[in-house]
Amino acid sequence: MHKIGKQTICFDNPPTILEAASIVGPKEADGPMAKYFDKCLDDEFWGEKSWEKAESKIIRETVNLVVAKSGISNTDIDYCFAGDLLNQCISSDFGLRDTNVPFFGVFGACSTFAESMCLGSVFVEGGAANNVICATSSHFCSAEKQFRFPLELGNQRPQTSQWTVTGSGAVILSKNGDGPYITNITPGKIVDMGIKDANNMGAAMAPAALDTLVTHLQDTGRKPSYYDAIITGDLGHIGKDILSEMIQTKGYNINGNYNDCGVLIFYL
Amino acid sequence: MHKIGKQTICFDNPPTILEAASIVGPKEADGPMAKYFDKCLDDEFWGEKSWEKAESKIIRETVNLVVAKSGISNTDIDYCFAGDLLNQCISSDFGLRDTNVPFFGVFGACSTFAESMCLGSVFVEGGAANNVICATSSHFCSAEKQFRFPLELGNQRPQTSQWTVTGSGAVILSKNGDGPYITNITPGKIVDMGIKDANNMGAAMAPAALDTLVTHLQDTGRKPSYYDAIITGDLGHIGKDILSEMIQTKGYNINGNYNDCGVLIFYL
């Protein structure tokens, strides 16, 4: 691998995404992406006594599922990179403590999954691993308690507030495979424009997404049209519109091929 | 780099620890290691209004210091790996938001600093970076609030409870340099033996330290006597004794060259 431009890593032998798995909650199952998830749950608890325990179960079962689907053994997984939104990454730690795979805890909020895939692909391409798991989870109910108000309070939600996904995604990255490949990564900077409204996270996160995307395009010398799809993690409707508008001031137009996960999962 | 044994990565071109810096609080300044720290603070607040803001300032100034000591420019730092003990790693995020260096958030509790150095050295040796910063912070007062009780409550502390360091450490890892070198890393697994006492974290963490250390010795084929020093992150007196005793059941004796950071910093 080698670095190009300001902050992009280019892989000479791109790691392959060997397998992927996802389990989601009931609201996600009502959305337009439902058919792409491996499993949709009927309720937010999945038989557990707390939201946090449910979240742990969701990430555990998602990781078990991705390993089962891949056909390789747990003992062939070299390292696991995982994190979530809760204190001390407890849903990942508790959910994955029985995997017996060396563990790297990651915290990047909405970028945790992308961050874990960045780290995992550097390990695989660098020769430190043949197979790694990258996983993350979130849960609407545990996230509301963590970041805003416990649901029992019955607070009203402003229209700018996003809906945290209840679910987990996991992939196995491998040295050998037929793709899809991870060819470049552009790790982002902390960009804080001073948005302090916990009910408007899209506006808070959009400037960082803008900075990373523009840097990626500059580093690679590509135009947005090079890509079939440009996807952000979870800016929601408002953050998505802010990013689309702000990037035009930088001379790029992404309206034709840009979308956002939060928008895709819940609406379309 | 290549993998040896079960979970150890061996570097063919070992990254060098180019520079290190540390800033600590008043209790650490009273301990036997005081002369090795770059700066010792007179109070836990350092002019800030909250412990969390003080912790952010400590990590920010420590990172600024390590860059200044190294003589290289901020723009020559490719990536930063950092984390801490607080929700959403806020002391690192807020402390380092003005560095303008691409950021990987890490959560490993007491292992955060070792984890960030693992990740950083894989990036450097793999060719993804020439220089990276690895940093972490903790603060006794913010940690007590986070994990046990706010200090204002005046709770008694059992004799098994550890004392979280108020301070920050940062290193710059580089592709080129005269050492000290990072030659091998053995990322650990999650090992939970069921200790649930938040006032006895040494006992909770010792089994994971044991597993990682034994795996490292097995993977490398070395005996403990190969090392000038074997150091654990912060098991404290009780955890240190547990590890020393348990490793004897695995056929190793580390009494001659083993010590623990928490024991070293506060007592000797």
Inter-chain CB proximity B105 and A102 less than 8 Å: no
User: Do A136 and A208 belong to one domain?
Assistant: no
Q: Is residue A180 part of a domain?
A: no
Q: Based on the fold, state whether residues B169 and B245 are members of the same structural domain.
A: no
Determine, yes or no, domain membership for A182: no
Whether A218 and chain B come into contact, CB under 8 Å, resolves to no
B93: closest CA of chain A, how far (Å): 7
Cβ neighbourhood burial of B60 (10 Å; 0-12, 13-18, 19+): buried
Distance of alpha carbon B185 from the chain centroid: 14
Same domain, B132 and B216: no
CA distance A180 to A173: 10
* Interchain proximity A9–B128, CB inside 8 Å: yes
The answer to whether residues A74 and A131 belong to one domain is: yes
A86 and A146 in a single domain? The answer is yes
Partner residue facing A190 (CB), from B2, B103, B188: B103
- Closest residue in B to A112 (Cα) is B105
DSSP bridge pairs for B24: B40, B167
**Residues of chain A contacting residue B125, judged by C-beta atoms under 8 Å apart:** 126
Is residue B183 included in any domain, yes or no?
A: no
Domain end position, chosen among A106, A140, A174: A174
Same domain, yes or no, for A240 and A166? Answer: no
What is the distance, to the nearest Å, from the Cα of residue A89 to the centroid of all Cα atoms in its chain?
15
pLDDT confidence of residue B177: 94
Picking from B117, B144, B174, the residue at the C-terminal end of a domain is B174
Residue A183, in any domain of the structure: no
Q: Which residue positions in chain B have pLDDT lower than 50? A: none
Residue A137, beta-bridge partner list = A168
Residue A128 to residue B188, Cβ atoms within 8 A? no
Residue-by-residue pLDDT tens, chain A, 268 positions: 999 999 999 999 999 999 999 999 999 999 999 999 999 999 999 999 999 999 999 999 999 999 999 999 999 999 999 999 999 999 999 999 999 999 999 999 999 999 999 999 999 999 999 999 999 999 999 999 998 889 999 998 888 888 999 999 999 999 999 999 999 999 999 999 999 998 899 999 999 999 999 999 999 999 999 999 999 998 999 999 999 999 999 999 999 999 999 999 997 5
Show residues of chain A in contact with B105, CB under 8 Å. Answer: 106-109, 115
Contact by Cβ (8 Å): B62, B21: yes
Of A128, A145, A174, which residue is a domain's last?
A174
Overall domain count for chain A: 2
Residue B87, chain A, CB below 8 Å: the answer is yes
Domain containing residue B258: 188-266
Look up the CATH number of the domain holding residue A58: 3.40.47.40
Same domain? For B134 and B262 the reply is no
Strand ranges for B11-78 from DSSP E: 16-24, 39-40
In which residue are the tokens 């790693």 written? B89
d(CA B85, CA A105): 12
- Does A6 map to a domain? yes
Q: How far apart are CA B101 and CA B87, in angstroms?
A: 22
* Residue B158 and residue B118 share a domain: yes
Task: Mark whether B137 and B261 lie in a shared domain.
Answer: no
Are residues B164 and B95 part of one domain? yes
Q: Are residues B98 and B219 in the same domain?
A: no
Parallel/antiparallel/unpaired status of strands B131-138 and B167-174: antiparallel
- How far is the C-alpha of A70 from the C-alpha of B125, rounded, in Å? 29
Among chain B residues, CA nearest to A78: B7
Whole-Å CA distances, B34 to A50, A147, B159, B233: 45, 38, 24, 17
pTM: 0.97
CB atoms within 10 A of CB A141: 20
Do B170 and B206 fall into the same domain? no
CA A239 to chain centre: 16
Q: Which two tokens mark B59? A: 């990590």
Query: Which of B103, B111, B173 should be substituted to probe chain A, the one whose Cβ sees the most A Cβ atoms within 10 Å?
Result: B103
CB distance A260 to A209 below 8 Å: no
Residue B128 lies in a domain: yes
Of B48, B190, B183, B199, nearest in space to B107 by CA:
B190
pLDDT of amino acid A96: 96
For B79, the enclosing helix (H) or strand (E) is strand B79-83
Selecting from B3, B127, B189 the residue whose C-beta is nearest the C-beta of A100 gives B189
Task: For residues B219 and A89, give the distance between their C-alpha atoms in angstroms, rounded to a whole number.
Answer: 29
Kindly state whether residue A157 falls inside one of the protein's structural domains. Answer: yes
Indicate whether B102 belongs to any domain: yes
